[in-house]
Chains A and B, each alone.
Chain A
Amino acid sequence: AQSVTQLDSQVPVFEEAPVELRCNYSSSVSVYLFWYVQYPNQGLQLLLKYLSGSTLVKGINGFEAEFNKSQTSFHLRKPSVHISDTAEYFCAVSPNTGFQKLVFGTGTRLLVSP
């Protein structure tokens, strides 16, 4: 079974500052990793995914994440945030074989203020 831990329930940051949202996972098998974003009153939208290959993954809206197998982490970063990045961010993991059900973390609310 897989599990995901997002330690920060809320991250406040000023506009144009850098941000890192932390994600750690646990799994006995190899996994795929995902970050989804949920804007207010909307469903989830895929930001980026790691399947294999380069450990640095670039996504939409200037976000990137780095897969670290030894630390079982997949932290999300953006060098300069905008007010419009205010949203809830979910890290998710699935096994890379069999039926690939997603297991989600509890989410991190990013609050960007001017």
Chain B
Amino acid sequence: DVKVTQSSRYLVKRTGEKVFLECVQDMDHENMFWYRQDPGLGLRLIYFSYDVKMKEKGDIPEGYSVSREKKERFSLILESASTNQTSMYLCASSLRQGVSQPQHFGDGTRLSIL
């Protein structure tokens, strides 16, 4: 079974801090994704990566950056955290395109910015 592991289930940080959210997958997937989930808004794509050192902006990249130095790890960075970034963050991975591959999700990190 695919395992996508997010380093923290709950995280509390202060406004202005630099925040790192880590995600690791164990199935050699090429694609990795970061979403945020907010009530009534569903999941929105922040960034994705289709290969090591490659990254693409999703629908809401403002205030975020990402890093993918190794295939199995995809980090989301909040450069200067703000209260409107309080949310649930979900990481996902999938195989390279072909017939569409399902995305496999981690359990999420609930981030609170005070």
Q: Do A and B come from one complex?
A: yes
- Cβ of B90 within 8 Å of any chain A Cβ, yes or no, is yes
Interface string of A4-48 (1 = CB under 8 A from B): 001001000000000000000000000010101000011111100
Q: Would A101 and B58 count as touching, CB distance under 8 A? A: yes
Number of contacting residues on B, CB 8 A?
Answer: 23
Interface string of B26-63 (1 = CB under 8 A from A): 00000000000000111111001010000010100000
Q: Would B100 and A32 count as touching, CB distance under 8 A? A: yes
Q: Would B42 and A105 count as touching, CB distance under 8 A? A: yes
A105–B41 CA distance with the chains assembled, in angstroms: 8
Q: Would A44 and B105 count as touching, CB distance under 8 A? A: yes
Return the chain B residue nearest A90 by Cβ. Answer: B42
A12–B100 CA distance with the chains assembled, in angstroms: 32
Q: Would B105 and A45 count as touching, CB distance under 8 A? A: yes
Q: Nearest chain B CB to A93's CB is how many angstroms away?
A: 11
Which of B40, B50, B105, B107 lies in contact with A99, CB distance below 8 A?
B50
A94–B102 CA distance with the chains assembled, in angstroms: 11
- Cβ of B4 within 8 Å of any chain A Cβ, yes or no, is yes
Q: Nearest chain A CB to B34's CB is how many angstroms away?
A: 12
Q: Would A101 and B90 count as touching, CB distance under 8 A? A: no
- Using a CB–CB cutoff of 8 Å, the interface residues on chain B facing chain A are 4, 40-45, 48, 50, 56, 58, 90, 92, 97, 99-100, 102-108
What are 5 sample pairs from A and B whose C-beta atoms fall under 8 A apart? A42-B107, A44-B105, A46-B102, A90-B43, A101-B45
